[in-house]
Amino acid sequence: MKKRIGFIGLGVMGKPMAMNLLKAGYPLTVWNRTRSKMEDLVKMGAAPGESPKDVAEKSDVVITMVTDSAAVEAVILGPSGVIEGVRPGMIVIDMSTISPSVTRRIAEKLKEKGVEMLDAPVSGGDIGAKQGTLSIMVGGSEEVFKECLPIFEVLGKRITYMGTNGMGQMTKLCNQVICALNIQAVCEGLILGAKAGLDLEKLLSVVTAGAAGSWMLSNLGPKIIKRDFEPGFKMVHQLKDLRLALAQASELNVPLPGTALVNQMFKAVEAAGLGEKGTQAAIVAVEKLAGFKVEKK
Ligand code: NAP
């Protein structure tokens, strides 16, 4: 018998992930703060939940995929939250990217109710969410991880157990440091090429096939030269993740000079009113410095 799943948070990532679970035959109850975003899932056969509490009452496993630490606290611990509807033996999986220490605190609160929690943030973007090819990094009990593996296998391709509660989130913050520096590198390569008068499509094609190749270059490089800034992964979310990474680095006494610099560049993008755009909008801050625009001729 397949576990009954409750899915909370149907944004850019949550909606396609929930759809994949439904297509894989899992009985699904969904909830989203803005209720209109539940409609497509309900048309596909998901049950509409009244609140996170109601979702928990109707599920064996509850998955949350919301913005940040405060949002996860609100849907799990807040009024009519998941914690009010749980039973001992249930599992809560948070797949949002949030603070490792907040994750641990929520896991402790759930444990008092006999509920296990996994932190299972993801990488692979909206494309990975749609295709079910996410990379999933998991913290919590290894036994519970194994129990949930069939669910993770619907959503992702590389699924890795990283250790106790919080270690999934810690892994994701390392991932975000690498992603942020990588998108900045793509932008700097493109501005140099543009100013030098190179054919930007040819530039992307040839460097993608060499040692500079990366997910960012392949997926966001073409968007930058088309000036398609639709998210994807929103700049405000990347800034949230860099804030978390820099705080952890400070606690661990690890200098991250490149990350600190990129954080300021991305701040400039947000200040220019582009926080809700995708991270490829990082090009705008680089262009401001260069006094030149990257555009396909
Ligand atoms: P999104 O499109 O902005 O969706 C955010 C979701 O969180 C929406 O369903 C929103 O509800 C809900 N939410 C926010 N605050 C809430 C609150 N206080 N109470 C209840 N619900 C709340 O974000 P996303 O891109 O799907 O990202 C979700 C998470 O995945 C984030 O932690 C992000 O860092 C992470 N992530 C994103 C990507 C990506 O490429 N997009 C990749 C990997 C990881 P409303 O609809 O009512 O606003």
CA of 273 to the centre of ligand 1 (A): 19
Q: Which of 15, 53, 58, 172 is catalytic?
A: 172
> Given the CA of residue 66, which atom of ligand 1 is nearest to it?
7
Q: Which domain holds residue 27?
A: 5-165
Could you tell me what percent of the chain has a pLDDT over 70?
100
Instruction: Decide: 37 in ligand 1 pocket, CB within 6 A.
Output: yes
pLDDT of the residue at 297: 65
DSSP string, 70-128: HHHHHHHHSTT-GGGT--TT-EEEE-S---HHHHHHHHHHHHTTT-EEEE--EESHHHH
pLDDT band at 295 (very low <50, low <70, confident <90, very high): confident
172 included as an active-site residue: yes
Last residue of a domain, one of 165, 198, 220: 165
Does residue 252 form part of some domain? Answer: yes
pLDDT band at 31 (very low <50, low <70, confident <90, very high): very high
DSSP 199-262: -HHHHHHHHHTSTT--HHHHHHHHHHHHT----SSBHHHHHHHHHHHHHHHHHTT---HHHHHH
150, 165, 180 - which closes a domain: 165
Query: How many structural domains does the chain have?
Result: 2
Q: Quick one: pLDDT band at residue 64, thresholds 50, 70, 90?
A: very high
Give mean pLDDT, residues 151-177: 98
Asked if 171 contacts 137 with a C-beta cutoff of 8 angstroms, the reply is: yes
Instruction: Tell me the C-alpha distance between 95 and 154, whole Å.
Output: 14
Cβ–ligand 1 contact at 66 (below 6 Å): yes
Distance from Cα 290 to the centre of ligand 1, integer Å:
33
Strand partners, 234: 278
219-245 residue pLDDT tens: 999 999 999 999 999 999 999 999 999
pLDDT-derived band of residue 88, with 50, 70 and 90 as boundaries? very high
Which residue's C-alpha comes closest to atom 11 of ligand 1? 33
pLDDT digits (tens, 9 = 90+) for 125-142: 999 999 999 999 999 999
| Claim to verify: residue 214 and residue 263 sit in the same structural domain | yes
Q: What value does the mean pLDDT take over residues 38-57?
A: 98
Residue 156 and residue 176 in one domain:
no
User: In the chain, how many H helices and how many E strands?
Assistant: 13, 9
28 with 161, same domain: the answer is yes
Report whether pLDDT(296) > 90.
no
201 within domain boundaries: yes
Q: Is 67 in the pocket of ligand 1 (CB under 6 A)?
A: yes
Stretch 27-31: mean pLDDT, rounded?
A: 98
Task: Specify whether 149 is located in the same domain as 200.
Answer: no
Closest C-alpha to ligand 1, atom 29:
96
For the chain, the average pLDDT equals: 97
* Ligand 1 near 277 CB (within 6 A): no
Whichever domain contains 251, its CATH number is 1.10.1040.10
User: 149 and 205, same structural domain?
Assistant: no
Closest approach atom of ligand 1 to CA 95: 30
Please work out whether the CB of residue 14 comes within 6 Å of at least one atom of ligand 1.
yes
Cα of 202 vs centre of ligand 1, distance in Å, is 35
